[in-house]
Amino acid sequence: MKLQSPAIIGVGRTKFGEHYERDPESLIDEAGLQALDSAGITRKDLDACYLSDYFLQVTNKIGLEEGFFSELLELHVPMEKTRSFSSALLNACHAVQSGKYDLVLVGGMEKMTDRWDKIRDDLMLLEDPWSYYAGCTPEANHELLLKGYIKKYGISGKQLEKLYMALAQISVKNHKNATENPHAQYKRAITVDTVLKARTTACKSLGLFDFAPISDGASALILANPETAKKCSDIPVYVLGSSSATDYITFPSREDRTGFIANTLAMQTALKQAKVDMADIQIAELYDQSTLLELMSLEDLGFSKRGTAWLDVYKSCEEYCGFYEIDGRKLFVNLNGGLKADGNPLGATGGAQIFEVVKQLSGNAGSRQVEVNGDAPRLGCVSELEGFGTKAYIHILGRN
């Protein structure tokens, strides 16, 4: 039996950043109301809710998020909680496809800046507990990944300089994109020199401007079955493929330490579900927890050949036209500024990625709207990671 693709009929989000003065209730309320309004429905129409957050129990002493959300919405419908937004969306898609629910709210929120000192250890445990006990920081595995990549592909001399320059260009590109995003945490352009100086100051290969920030924020969407979607929306965006895969939590124990196999496997499955080719995808929101991870994702997902993404980025950014040119094809990446400049409130991050792709596909992205052959893009994908490539989620979205 062929399963029908569920559709996103409404999206909403807050500005990401430091929201010391706001509680989680007001953040998810803002994002959720936007999503409901854009879908043209009310909370009473919802059949279920799927929520995501990593640290609300630690940062805000919210012990049972489902009950918290039930009280906020004054609803008694089924509610389930996951870590990442993409996980919540994957479960919601399964529920809608099974015919169990017609209209579902997927929401994510996080308040990380209030208790940054308390959750830094927890972030490391999410990535690799053994590295944590060895004294590593959350940034250490990124450095190890980069060193392994350089060694595997024998990158040295002028090529190595271009690799480091390509990583800096990723940061510059994402900050530039964020200047057109009203919700972004950092709406200011930077230069390559800014990125390079931060690395020199840190005495490391990756510096301050190579990593995504810690953020607060919320995001939400409304998911519907195809029949309901056509009644509620003139331009529904369908979830054509939705997949995940998992790898060992201990980074040094993995078979390949120059990329994330979970990302590759999830992409392959999502493409089969969507019945599209990777070359058909026109826009991508990639999980750039660091500039290196955007580079790695280009290879993991199949946009660039192994060991060559740095060169694709470097050549594309010599005279940057708003996209990467890879094998003669245009690929728009992280149009909202990515995690690097848009922000990274973990439980809400995936929702912001989905928000951007939905806006672009429906032609409602405002000043940051891109066109392909004179029209809004038709196919986009979103990748989100849990931990350091331990779990990967891929969603392929399309207008048809």
The tens digit of pLDDT for each residue in 258-305 reads: 999 999 999 999 999 999 999 999 999 999 999 999 999 999 999 999
Please check whether residue 388 is in contact with residue 247, taking contact to mean a CB–CB distance below 8 angstroms: no
Instruction: Flag whether 109 is in a domain.
Output: yes
Chain segment 116-136, per-residue pLDDT in tens: 777 877 787 787 777 777 777
Instruction: Flag whether 100 is in a domain.
Output: yes
Chain segment 197-206, per-residue pLDDT in tens: 999 999 999 9
Instruction: Flag whether 302 is in a domain.
Output: no
Tell me the pLDDT band of 354, cut-offs 50, 70 and 90. Answer: very high
Instruction: Flag whether 321 is in a domain.
Output: no
pLDDT of residue 76: 97
Of 104, 89, 99, nearest to 9 by C-alpha is 104
pLDDT of residue 2: 64
Could you tell me if residue 239 is left (phi over 0), alpha (psi between -120 and 50 degrees) or otherwise beta? beta
AA letter at 32: G
pLDDT of residue 384: 98
Tokens of 93: 């898609």
Tokens of 248: 């060992």
The Cα–Cα gap between 169 and 147 comes to 19
Tell me the pLDDT band of 252, cut-offs 50, 70 and 90. Answer: confident
What is the percentage of the chain residues whose pLDDT exceeds 90?
Answer: 86
DSSP 378: S
Instruction: Flag whether 274 is in a domain.
Output: no
The Cα–Cα gap between 229 and 10 comes to 10
AA letter at 207: G
Stretch 133-148: mean pLDDT: 87
Domains identified in the chain, total number:
1
pLDDT of residue 135: 75
* pLDDT tops 80 at residue 141: yes
pLDDT of residue 114: 82
Instruction: Flag whether 33 is in a domain.
Output: yes
The Cα–Cα gap between 206 and 201 comes to 10
Instruction: Tell me which residue range forms the domain holding 97.
Output: 7-116+214-231
Chain segment 154-191, per-residue pLDDT in tens: 999 999 999 999 999 999 999 999 999 999 999 999 99
Stretch 96-122: mean pLDDT: 90
Chain segment 173-182, per-residue pLDDT in tens: 999 999 999 9
pLDDT of residue 299: 98
Instruction: Flag whether 81 is in a domain.
Output: yes
More confident site: 252 or 300: 300
Instruction: Flag whether 224 is in a domain.
Output: yes
Q: What is the CATH number of the domain that holds 87?
A: 3.40.47.10
The Cα–Cα gap between 210 and 172 comes to 10
